[in-house]
Amino acid sequence: MALVVDASVGLKWVLQEPDSHLAQALAVGDEELLVPDFWLNEACNICWLQVRKGKWTPDEARQGLALLRAQVEPTQTGDLDLHDIALDIGLAVDHSTYDTLYLAFAVAMGTRGVVVADAPFVRNMQRHPDLALAALLIPLTEWGRGQGLT
């Protein structure tokens, strides 16, 4: 069963951050990975932000985006009607729907869960009244522990 990768994990494929090695292991492992089409919007913005912060050159940003684009073919979400579900999740846990859209996508696609590297999102989802929905969020470090990598 597939796993959804959110931007906080996917960007570790091109950024040197804590747990980037776990994100790399996820990318090259046997898991079937899915990303929604809006994933590239976030990735593009982070690549731009790296240039703005002086961490990358414009060419490095273009290369990073190209690598992300080549990593996983995004799934088109236009027909999935994710917004109502994402809004309800966000309202239930007082969290940004930019993140809860990934959970709505995971539910719509019938995946095993969403791998994230976003501690506030994980904390907020622990308050969700639907424990099965809350359990769909898989911290990257927890995924790595399950693989014997941490």
Q: What is the pLDDT of residue 79?
A: 87
Q: How far apart are the first and last CA of the chain?
A: 23
High-pLDDT (> 90) share of the chain, %: 93
Judged against a pLDDT cut of 90, whether residue 12 lies above it is answered with yes
pLDDT tens digits, residue range 55-67? 999 999 999 999 9
**CA–CA dist 126, 139 (Å, integer):** 12
| Average of per-residue pLDDT across 46-73 | 95
Residues ≥6 apart with Cβ < 8 Å to 99: 6, 90, 116, 118, 121
Reduced to 3 states, what is the DSSP secondary structure of residue 138? Answer: strand
Residue 104 contacts residue 86 (beta carbons within 8 Å): yes
What pTM, to 2 d.p., does this model score?
0.93
Judged against a pLDDT cut of 90, whether residue 10 lies above it is answered with yes
Position 150 confidence tier, pLDDT thresholds 50, 70, 90: confident
How many beta carbons lie within 10 A of that of residue 69, not counting itself? 14
